Each structure stands twice: as C-alpha cells, then as structure tokens.
Amino acid sequence: MTTTAAPAPTTEPTGERSTFAVRHLLAQIGRYTFLCAVLGFFALPLLWLATAPFDDTPTITASLPRFTLDNFRALLDNPYALSSLLNSVYLAAGTAALVVTFAALAAYALSRVRVPGRDALLYGLLLLSSIVTGTATMVPLFELAFRLNLIDSRLGVILILSGGLLPAAIFILKDFMDSTPTSYEESARVFGASPLQIMRHIVVPLVRPGLATVGVWAVANVWGNFLVPFLLLRGPDKAPAAVIMYTLYTEGGQADLRLLSTFSLLYSLPVALMFVFVSSRYGFRFHGGIKR
Amino acid sequence: MSAITMRELTKVYPGGVRALDALDLEIADGEFFALLGPSGCGKTTLLRTIAGLEVASGGSVRIGERDVTNLPPGKRDVAMVFQDYALFPHMTVRDNIAYPLRIKKVDRRSRGSKAADTADELGLSGLLERRPGQLSGGQQQRVALARAMACHPQVFLLDEPLSNLDARLRLEARTFLKRLQRELGVTTVFVTHDQAEALALADRIAVMEGGRIRQVGTPTEVFRRPANTFVAGFIGSTPMNLVDTRVQGDGLAVGPARLPLPNDAHGQVTDGERLVYGIRPEYLDYSPTPVASALTGEVVVVENLGSVSLVSLDVAADDTEAGDDTGAGRTSVQVVVAEGGEPEPGDTGWVVPRPGRSLLYRDGNLVTATAPAGVPAPRADAAARS
C-alpha cells in the first residue's frame, strides 16, 4: 500500500506538524477503506460465480462451499445446456466473421476515398446502429425476418446481429486504417499489386490488432445478446446459452441456483479465455518500418 | 532503361492548386536527374505523376517509346523508393525485397534466392530474416533500394532519398547512391530540397518553383550560371550575393563604389539601366586594406564554417529611388574568407569580385554570363558542403 504517513519529525515536534500527520493518515485510511468497499462490491458477484457452482446448496450469498461436482453432473443431464453453448459459438463465430470482413472492406474504402459528407455518414450510422438491434425495432425486425423466411434460422439471427454491429465496427476500424500510412499501399501499387492484393498482403496484416479487437467485441456482443435469438429462434434446439439460461427453473418455478450458477460459470469462461488469448496473440503492437 | 519525356504536363488538384504548370522536361536514358526546389514547388507531385500515383490533368508522360500518361503505376515499369521507405513492417527483409517478384508471380523458391542476391549486392546478406523495425536507418534505406532493384525497372524514382538519415550517414549514403546508380546505369529521378545533395549526386538538375521549371542544367551550369535570381538564391550552400546596381558608362555603380562591367555584358546593357549584380561569396576576395574597384563596409558577422569563414559586410548600396545617393540604402554582402585571414566584427573590409565571375540580372533573368572556360574553380568545396 503506502508509507506516506511518515512519523512526526523528531527534530521539531511542534503540535501543528503532528496534527497534520494524523490528519494525513486518517485521509489515507479513509480513501483505502472506500476503495476496498468499491472493490468488494464488484468482486463479490465474481466470488459467488467461483464458489456457488461447487456448493451443494448454493444460495445467493457467497460462502465457502461444501465442495461437490454434482451440479455439473446435473447440468449434463439437461438436454439443451451443452448444445446451447455450441449454438452460441455458431452465432458468435458467424456474426464475428461477417462483421470483421465487411467492416474491414468498408472501413478501408471510407478511409482512403474522399466522399463528401463522409464523417456525417459515419456518425449517422453509429447513431442508427444502436437502434437496429434495440428493443424498439423488434417488431419490424420480426416482421422482416418472417417475410424473408428467416424465422427459426441461425442465419437470420446472424444477419440481424451483424447489421447492428457493423456501423460501430466500421467506425473503430476506420480509425485503424487512418493510422496506417498510405505509402505502404502506394509502394505496393507501384510494384503492380491489385487492390485486393494490397488489402490481403499489406492492409490486413497491418490492422490485425484492430481486426482482432472488432472480432472479440463482436463475439462478446453476440454471446451476451438475449433478445434477438429469443424472439427469432423458436425451439430450444437452436437457442444459444443466453436463452437457455432463462429456462433453468425448478419445477416450483423458482430459479434453480445450482444449475444457474454452474451454467453461468461455463457460459462466461469461453469469453474470458478468448480475451486472454487474443490480447496475448494480437495485442496492440506495431512493428515499425516507417521512419517518422 | 529508358528516357523520360514530359510534354505540357499539368496537374491541378481538386482544391484548385496548380501543382504542375504545363511543364516540359526531358530526362535522358541512364541519367541521374535531380528535381530540386523549395517545399510546395511541385517536385514531389512531378515524381508521383511519373510514377502514376497522381493522374495528370493535362499533357503527357512517355517512358522510352511508351506513352504512360494513362497507365496505372504497376504497368509503367518504374520502381519508387519513398521518403519513409515504406518497408512492410510485418514482413522480413527477404519478403520485402521479394515482394515485387511475388506480385509478378515468380515462384517462392526463385524469388527467395533472387532477393538474397540483391541483398548481397547491397551488403544486406546477414539481415535477411530481420524485420524492418530491427534495422538502422541506413539499412532500411538499402532494403528499400534493394526492393526497387529486385524488379529490374526501367526507371528508379527516389523521393527525398537521404532526408531520413542523420547527417553523418547521409554523406555515406550519398556516395553509395551515386556509385550504385553508375553501376546499374538505370535512369534515376530523385527529389530533394537540399541543393548540396542535388549538386553532389545528379548528372543534371531541374530547379523548380511554383509548378514550373526555372532552370535545367548540369550542376556546374546551375551553380556557375544560374539563369535567374531564384536559382541564384537557391543554389549554393551560401546564397549568391544579389545587389542592386546601376550601369554607369563602362562600369557598375553600387552605392558609392564602382565595379567593372563583366566583359561580355558590353553592348547588352544601356547606360543608367538598373540591374541586379550577382556574385557568389566564394568568388569575392576579402582585403583588410583599401583596393580599387571594391565594395567596402563594416564586418558585421563572422561565421566559422570549418576550413573557411563566412563574413558578412554591411555595404552602402543604391536606394531604390533613382538619384538618391544619400547612402540610406544598405545591403549585406557575404564573402568567404580562407583560414587565417578572418577579420573581427567591427573591422572595415574591402571585397573584390574575381574577374569573369560576376553575373547581371535584368528583371530577375540572366543578362549575361562570363565564359565558363578558363576560369578558376570556386575556392574551397563550399558547394559540396551539406
């Protein structure tokens, strides 16, 4: 922590000085107490997530568990639990692939071509994107999906989620594209590279940290999205984990804390692991090679 | 290897800036050619237009026998080295050098060995597996040159090739570049704002200003006989002295002083005409004692340049108003003084122009020039000093 609460000076022990030291010490104690309280507030739910799945009678409080793996066994008996995680993977991977591909192409074009009113267009899209997958548009979206025969189809969910994520993804990636010097591309152009070759050989490797960021962000968004798959997918066989979690009740209609806590742990682990993996693999590094 | 011919080449940017203004220029096969000028003069635009990175608004560019005006950069058979080198940071040195061959669909094995050969020629053999970020500035430049050489282009285009190197390395790279160009014999055009670099490297120089070419010539021509006052002021590590003068009989009057009229100016100037007298600081002789036909004034500044010193004199000059000889007009005249003979600030000094070295400008253009043959070379190597 800190040792700033220095002992009162011995040479000139005036009362004024020691009062100051005491006041300083109290201020420090107060500050750290406050910080600990805030930290505890955020840490306790995580602690619950870590202990409850291993407790044979979990409550909504975090406590030292009486260790058991029965909860995991019970979860395996649930016909939809594990397959729903796989469904989540399908939806997240499909959406992330679509979003990264199209956002990269669009951001590159928007970054390199001068279009009048480009920035207004970008900000407008960003504003509208929060509406596309928002609650307010669920009825028209359902209607649209119904007319297009995309009800109860994973493709429909992926398309709608991609539509919602694309504007922000373009916005993020355009920033990455803007910060790569155009002389790389011009150099490749003089050697005769086609636009798609430039994109593949030069631009994509250079903005890889940006692509990784957008990919992770898209996966995390889809992973946590409940409303869209809940409305568009009819049966539990295609439902992702976020929807299945909603069904984990006891016969009495009470939330089944044993299943719920165990499933929550399984549900959050993949995303956490993905963050660790991607940031260690693609972290925000830049190799240099342009002399500034 | 080909000549480059530009006819009435014009480039107008969308904002209305006229970067190139109906420019005619011919660059000979195998020539090492410099485009020189202050920033914003259009030299980089000209280079990029030759490369095809900018589309000409008018006129034509020919490389060899082909009209390339409307060809994309990749079809022009040119290679360009960018000011920042633009080495791909995610590729090794080998992959960087091999990149043009990769585009040309040369198979992996033979392009790898070709890249290694080119790297060998430029002394990069130990660095093939490194990334650009792990190289020094000079090595990066050589990798960029190797990459340009690997595709055997007809023309090399270099954008400010030395500006990103530190001073010591720059001198080394300059010699290296000149030798490399000699050996390859490929037509090479480079852009620079540094007149010393242009004089030292180029076979010929085009001095540009405001999208136009002000003079084209060999370094000697451009240095000794600048065609106009712009070139006179731009070329030379110490700018040429340009002093207002008046023709008086068979002499020139600068304030109270009288200087001899340059030999072949006779008959080309009229008595009483107002001209600009130009003389390089290297071509003035300083004397601490009075001499005839000299400009005189007080020493104001003495700058030590190593083997020589640059001395600035405050000299009485003509006022812009004709006939007003009150001495109100003053001008600064600079002179190069050899080691050992430096005056102190405050001294009074006399400077005598060397015979056959002075130039006269009318409305900014050269009236006459002294015959280049049989004249002494400039003192010291002031021109080559960077």
CB contact under 8 A, B99 and A192: no
Give how far A107 is from chain B: nearest CA, Å.
Answer: 20
The residue to which tokens 């030299």 are assigned: B43
Read off the pLDDT band of B67 (50, 70, 90).
very high
**Number of CB atoms found within 10 A of residue A154's CB:** 18
CA torsion A154-A158-A164-A169 (nearest 10°) is 160
- Here the contacts of B91-95 (C-beta below 8 Å, separation 24 or greater) are B91/B131, B91/B132, B92/B128, B92/B129, B92/B130, B92/B131, B93/B119, B93/B124, B93/B127, B93/B128, B93/B129, B93/B130, B93/B131, B93/B132, B93/B135, B93/B143, B94/B119, B94/B128, B94/B129
Q: How many CA atoms lie within 13 A of A220 on its CB side?
A: 13
HSE, CB side, 13 Å, CA atoms: give it for residue A275.
7
Q: A235: which residues sit within 8 A by CB, 6+ positions away?
A: A152
Q: Is the pLDDT of residue B237 over 90?
A: no
Is residue B27 pLDDT above 90, yes or no?
Answer: yes
Chain B residues in contact with A191 (beta carbon < 8 A): 74, 79, 99-100, 103, 151
Contact B74 A191 (CB under 8 A): yes
Query: What count of CB pairs under 8 Å joins A to B?
Result: 85
Q: Looking at CA atoms only, how far is residue A209 from chain B in angstroms?
A: 12
Question: What pLDDT shows up at residue B9?
Answer: 93
Find the CB nearest B131 among A181, A188, A287.
A287
Whole-angstrom Cα distance, residue B280 to residue B266?
21
CA of A172 vs chain B CAs: smallest distance (Å) = 21
Which residues between 92 and 131 in chain B have a beta carbon less than 8 angstroms from any beta carbon of chain A?
99-100, 102-104, 131
**Does B89 contact A206 at a Cβ distance shorter than 8 Å?**
yes
B52 and B72 Cβ atoms separated by less than 8 Å: yes
Determine what percent of chain B falls in helix, strand and coil, rounding each to the nearest 5. 25, 35, 40
pLDDT single digits (tens) B124-134: 888 999 999 89
B263 within 8 A of B356, measured Cβ to Cβ:
yes
Distance CA B180, CA B161 (A): 13
**What are the Cα distances from residue B277, in Å, to A116, A257, B273, B318, B383?**
52, 98, 12, 12, 20
Beta carbons of B74 and A288 less than 8 Å apart: no
Strands B204-209, B212-217: parallel, antiparallel or unpaired by DSSP? antiparallel
Angle between helix A154-178 and helix A118-132 axes, rounded to 10 deg: 150
pTM: 0.76
Q: Tell me: the pLDDT tens digits for B269-292?
A: 888 888 899 999 999 999 999 998
What is the model's pLDDT at position B201? Answer: 92
What percent of chain B has a predicted confidence (pLDDT) above 90? Answer: 48
CB of A112 within 8 Å of any CB in chain B? no
A202 to chain B, any CB pair closer than 8 A? The answer is yes
Using a CB-CB cut-off of 8 Å, the residues of chain B touching A193 are 74, 103
Q: Do the beta carbons of residue B205 and residue B34 sit within 8 Å?
A: yes
Pairwise CB contact (< 8 Å): A289 & B80: no
Interface test with A, best of B55, B95, B96, B99 (most A CBs within 10 A): B99
Q: What is the pLDDT of residue B382?
A: 39
Question: What would the DSSP string read from start to end of B29-41?
Answer: TT-EEEEE-STTS
Burial of residue B59, with CB atoms counted within 10 A of its CB: 0-12 exposed, 13-18 middle, 19 or more buried: middle
Place of tokens 């002179």: B335
Strand ranges of the sheet holding B187-192, from the earlier edge strand across to the other edge:
B78-81, B155-159, B187-192, B32-36, B204-209, B212-217
Which residues of chain B does A201 touch, with a Cβ-Cβ cutoff of 8 Å? 88, 99, 102
- Verify whether the Cβ–Cβ distance B90 to A292 is below 8 Å: no
| Residues in chain B closer than 8 A to A183 (CB atoms) | 82-84, 86
CA dihedral A105, A108, A112, A113 (to 10 degrees): 30
Contacts of A206 in chain B (CB under 8 A): 88-90
Shortest Cα distance, chain A CAs vs residue B208, angstroms? 24
Residues of B with Cβ-Cβ distance to A285 under 8 angstroms: none
φ, ψ for residue A246, nearest 5 deg: -65, -20
Q: How far apart are the first and last CA of chain A?
A: 41
Min Cα distance B132 → chain A (Å) is 5
Gap from A58 CA to chain B (nearest CA, Å): 51
Positions in chain A whose pLDDT score sits under 50: 1-10, 284-292
Q: What percent of chain A has pLDDT over 90?
A: 27
Residue type, A180: T
Measured between CA atoms, the residue of chain B closest to residue A203 is B88
Mean residue pLDDT of chain B comes to 86
Candidates B88, B104, B151; nearest CB to A202:
B88
